[in-house]
Structure 1
Amino acid sequence: MFHANRMEELYRNIQQGSFIPRISTATFNQVGSGINFFYPWLLLYPWVLLRLVTNNPISAFYLYIILETFVTFSISYYGMHKYSGSKRRALIFSLLYTFANYRLFLVFHQNVLAESIAYTFLPLVLLGFYEVFFRDKKKWPLLAIGMSLLLYSHMLTTALTAFFLLITLLIFWRNVVEKGARMLSAIKAVGLSILLTAFYLFPFIEQTLGNHLRASWTGFNFIQQPMQVIESSINNEPDHTVGFLLILTVLLGFTYLRNAPVLEKYSYFAGLILVVLTTSLFPWGGFLNTPLANLQFPFRLNGLATVMLCIYLSFIINNMIIKLKVKYQVTTIVSLLAVIAITFGLMLTTSHQIINQRLSANVPMLNKRPTPENYYPAKNGAYYNLTSENWHNMFYYYGHNGAFDYFPVAVKGKINDAVVNHQAIVDGKKVYFANRLTSKPNQLEYNLTGIKAGANVKLPVLYYKNDFVKIGNEHFEKPTVTKVDTIQVRVPKHDKQIIIKYRNSVLDNSTLVVSLVSWLGVLIIYIGNITRKKKIHETVFKTN
């Protein structure tokens, strides 16, 4: 429901000619939530385009998942092929990673769209990191582009990945040659990534510093016992674990370490440690009052564990295929078909378990609009079935899983309930304002006809930096803000139309230009390099 609100907001914005959602006016309870400053929206554009083509949000969603899966497979293949030089290993890795249990859990079981998109680009980030510090330092743009795409997807996953890469660098620092030159390449990558993400990153910082907001909740939930993780993985359950193949890699992978190169050994041990960190063996309770509490779910480390274990397992399987061919004349095609059959077989078992869980839970259809008084999705663990016909019902009231993230800190408890219920305060009295509200992209309009001139009205609209208000015939001005960071107006004598609008700041506009120019520059340089290599190849071919 959280990501559906984000997608719907972008869709309605684009429908009306606005391509950048700032405040949410059609979704997230229509109170001007600033969620779009804190969750990247760029990679949701393909879903909008698919919906415009199909005119069906559900079909668009599944087509989007197909597209995401294809891109994940392609990037995984590219990353491993560049790293290992083996097309066979690249195919094995991309199969293992794309259809890994944890990724299927995010995509199909939890519909955690932002995090699942982030793992699409993780192999590219790892390849860029490897090139910068261990191979061709001139390929630092790979790291910059990978981290940028990661940040476009999910901020927390980006932070986790950056922390993991830092630890990896410290472990291998003594093995890094040309340290100064490689650090310079890394600094270039960071600089380019900042430019490419400036249109999101700097407004994020501006709103964080310019408002007193409550972020998402902190803490550690869903920590399992080690045996629970092993059992769930062995059963290949659609759960927040690494799944059957990768838990076998964790348990038995040490038997192949003697034949493995250093980086493959590191992949195994990194994956093993990350899996252990998701369990109760790690004393998470001691970190409740630290920044680590922003992790929320230690099982999120399974994303990094998955990619590292897939790297190691792809090495093992690739070597096994070579040995089978040499010793038993088993062709590569037969071996790869066996890998594909096993991978898809496990994927199907996970899919069937998800379907059976949904059927046995008697998940209801969302055929009526949820209300604060009867928030019936929560009665079924916040699960419900959607169709294209009932899709719009979820946007009238939304009260769980991040619905109130990044609200002003003062908007809590009864005040929070009043705001999302569209209760205004008119001269100290509560008045229901939902029927007076009209939403447009980045703009809320209230018709105050019937309310006496001069009345003091506290609107159920959240205030964020760069919000402006137009009262009647007056010009847009900075609004009067209440003690709880909502917007307050005085009713005019004539033209009682009130407009609250987010207006792009100089920072919003300038950083958008910076990012567009930076991406254009990257594209021009890339095309130039391709053209130059092609000319050199043609020249060499003609000479020979």
Structure 2
Amino acid sequence: MSDSKWKNVRINILIMLFFGMFSFLLTLVFIKLGTIVLSADGSFHFSRIEELYDNFRNGKLTFIASHTFSSTGVGTFLFYPSVLLYPWIILRLILSPVTSFYVWYGLMLFITMYIAYYFMWLFAKDRVRAIIFGMLYTIFPYHIHLGIAHLVVGEFLAYTFIPLFFIGLYYCLVDRKKWYLLGIGWTLILYSHIVSAYITLLGAIAISIIYMIIDAKSIKRVMINLSKNIILVTLLSSFVLIPFVTDFIGAGIKAPNGTIFGYLGSFQEIFLESVKNATDTNRSVGVFAIFTTIVAGILLEKVE
């Protein structure tokens, strides 16, 4: 190994150790607290964990909740993928329910931080900027809202892989060698939260169409890269997609009437909650996200 490559390896190890320590410090206070305040989302997801835990101890995979949810046979696992919850389940085998959650939470903070760092490093080739972005992306109020304040586990997991998805889309559009990051990122989002996968897919389609309209010469290249990613995603995610299509969509299961939910907030509400840096609401992206967006707009033209 050349000196330059060995130097990069050492730098990356040091960065990983730093992120690991930072994640540990963010989690330690909750482990010492030893309690969890469950919301409606938290109760739902912890019930899923108990179902997975009971079945895993008996050597079974879970598709139907036959023990929890009042033993009603809820098919929640057809809509909420559970693959990425198994590290939590393994921790649950050796730790208390509360401690296992917080250790898993700290692990996900570390992974989120490093993926965000990797995203910015690939995009800007600036380690300082990448480290700062990795830390800020991880402690954005909306991420804290998902992970601790309201325990929205599916979206919390999906949040981790969104940077990987978008750096993959970037490479897919500009014809770089790492086009496959798009397929890997979207598969990981799909294994986390199907609604988030659907939203990011719509975003990728819209961005790709706009890019091809602006640069007509890129149409063939982009279509080839997107086609390769479709094949990659199909191969990687069939374990989740096939049961979802055959047993959920194919069975005609319907979602609740969307008109009874009022999730959308006005721009003023989102901006004011974000300026307050609130974590107890799903309408706050955080003051750091606003600041980052403004600075990114100023500096974007300087990035090659």
Same fold (TM over 0.5): yes
Deviates more, 1:185-194 or 1:218-227: 218-227
Q: Which amino acid aligns with 1:245?
A: F
Corresponding position of 1:95: 135
Match of 2:33 in 1: none
2:46 paired with 1:7: no
Determine which structure has more spread, i.e. the larger CA radius of gyration. Answer: 1
1:22 match: secondary structure: coil
2:100 corresponds to which of 49, 55, 60: 60
SS in 1 for 2:258: coil
Equivalent in the alignment of 1:296? none
Given residue 50 of structure 1, which amino acid in structure 2 is its aligned partner?
L
Letter in 2 for 1:146: G
> Normalising to structure 1: TM-score of the pair?
0.45
Q: Is structure 2 residue 230 aligned with structure 1 residue 184?
A: no
> In the alignment, what sits opposite 1:151?
190
Q: Distance in 1 between matches of 2:148 and 2:249?
A: 36
One of 53, 58, 61 as aligned partner of 1:16: 58
Task: Tell me by how many angstroms 1:68 deviates.
Answer: 0.6
Classify the secondary structure of the residue corresponding to 1:153: coil
Aligned 1:363-442 pairs, distance under 5 A: none
The change in CA–CA distance for 1:232 and 1:181 in structure 2 (over 3 A counts) is closer
- How far has the Cα of 1:260 moved from its partner? 3.1
2:150 to 110, 113, 129: 110
- Given that 1:132 and 1:139 are in contact with CA atoms closer than 8 Å, whether structure 2 keeps it comes out as yes
Distance change >3 Å, CA 73–CA 126, structure 1 → 2? same
Separation (CA, whole Å) in 2 of partners of 1:37 and 1:231: 37
After superposition, give the CA deviation of every residue in 1:178-218 in whole Å (9 maximum; x if it has no partner): 43233112111111111111011011111135423222442
Structure 2 CA distance for aligned equivalents of residues 83 and 258 of structure 1: 16
- Which structure features the higher share of strand residues? 1
CA distance in 2, matches of 1:123, 1:170: 20
**In the aligned structure 2, how far is the partner of 1:10 from the partner of 1:94?**
31
Out of 196, 220, 224, which is 2:236 matched to? Answer: 196
**Is structure 2 residue 108 aligned with structure 1 residue 41?**
no
Q: Residue deviations 1:123-157, cap 9 Å, x none?
A: 11011111111141x42321111111010000111
What amino acid sits opposite 1:143 in the alignment?
Answer: L
Match of 1:124 in 2: 164
Residue identity in the other structure for 2:277: N
Q: What amino acid does structure 1 have at the position aligned with 2:135? A: L
Give, in whole Å, the separation in 1 of the partners of 2:248 and 2:75.
Answer: 10
Q: 2:272 aligns with which of 227, 231, 235?
A: 231
The 2-side partners of 1:24 and 1:258 are apart by 50
CA contact (8 A) 1:47 1:64 kept: yes
1:171 aligns with 2:213: no
1:245 aligns with 2:288: yes
Unpaired runs of at least 5, structure 1 = 265-544
Task: Give the Å deviation of 1:70.
Answer: 0.4
Match of 1:75 in 2: 115
What letter corresponds to residue 202 of structure 1 in structure 2?
I
Unaligned ranges ≥5, structure 2: 1-42
**In the TM superposition, what are the counterparts of 1:313-392 in structure 2 within 5 Å?**
none
For residues 469-519 of structure 1, the C-alpha deviation after alignment (integer angstroms, 9 at most, x for no partner) is xxxxxxxxxxxxxxxxxxxxxxxxxxxxxxxxxxxxxxxxxxxxxxxxxxx
Match of 2:32 in 1: none
Structure-2 residue corresponding to 1:320: none
Query: Alpha-carbon deviation of 1:228?
Result: 3.2
Q: How many residues align?
A: 258
| Structure 1 vs Structure 2 CA RMSD | 2.2
Contact kept in structure 2, 1:115 and 1:153, CA below 8 Å: yes
Aligned residue identity for 2:205 = L
Change (3 A) 1:110 1:133: same
Q: Give a deviation string over 1:253-304, Cα, whole Å, max 9, x none.
A: 28x846532889xxxxxxxxxxxxxxxxxxxxxxxxxxxxxxxxxxxxxxxx
Q: Is the 8 A contact 2:175 2:221 kept in 1?
A: no
Contact 2:124 2:303 in 1 (8 A): no
Find the aligned partners of 2:199 and 2:303 in 1 and give their Cα distance.
20
Partner amino acid, structure 2, of 1:233: S
Tell whether the 8 Å contact from 1:134 to 1:177 is kept in structure 2 after alignment: no
Aligned equivalents of 1:216 and 1:35: distance in 2? 14
Aligned partners of 1:104 and 1:52: how far apart in 2? Answer: 26
- CA offsets per residue over residues 279-337 of structure 1, 9 Å max, x none? xxxxxxxxxxxxxxxxxxxxxxxxxxxxxxxxxxxxxxxxxxxxxxxxxxxxxxxxxxx
Give 2:16's aligned residue. none
TM-score normalised to structure 2 length: 0.79
| CA pair 234-156 structure 1, distance change in 2 beyond 3 A | same
Q: What is the match of residue 300 of structure 2?
A: 260
* 1:58 positional shift: 0.8
Distance 1:79 1:130 in 2: 10
Report the Cα offset of residue 79 of structure 1. 1.4
Q: Secondary structure of the residue that 1:88 maps to in structure 2?
A: helix
Matched, 1:86 2:126: yes
Residues 24-55 of structure 1: per-residue CA shift (max 9 Å, x gap): 1111221222111111010010100111121x
Cα distance in 2 between the residues matched to 1:3 and 1:26: 14
Aligned residue for 1:211?
Answer: 251
Query: Residue 17 of structure 1 aligns to a residue in which SS?
Result: coil
Inter-partner Cα distance in structure 2 for 1:38 and 1:226: 30
Distance (Å, rounded) in 2 between the aligned partners of 1:95 and 1:177: 37
Aligned residues of 2:154 and 2:192 also touching (Cα < 8 A): yes
Which string of whole-angstrom CA distances, capped at 9 and with x for unpartnered residues, describes residues 142-179 of structure 1?
A: 11111110100001111111111111112221336543
Report the Cα offset of residue 222 of structure 1. 3.8
For the structure 1 residues 217 and 72, does the alpha-carbon distance in structure 2 shift closer, same or farther, using more than 3 Å as the test?
farther
Deviations 1:68-124 (A, max 9, x none): 100000111111111111111111111111111111111111100010100100011
CA distance in 1, matches of 2:276, 2:222: 44
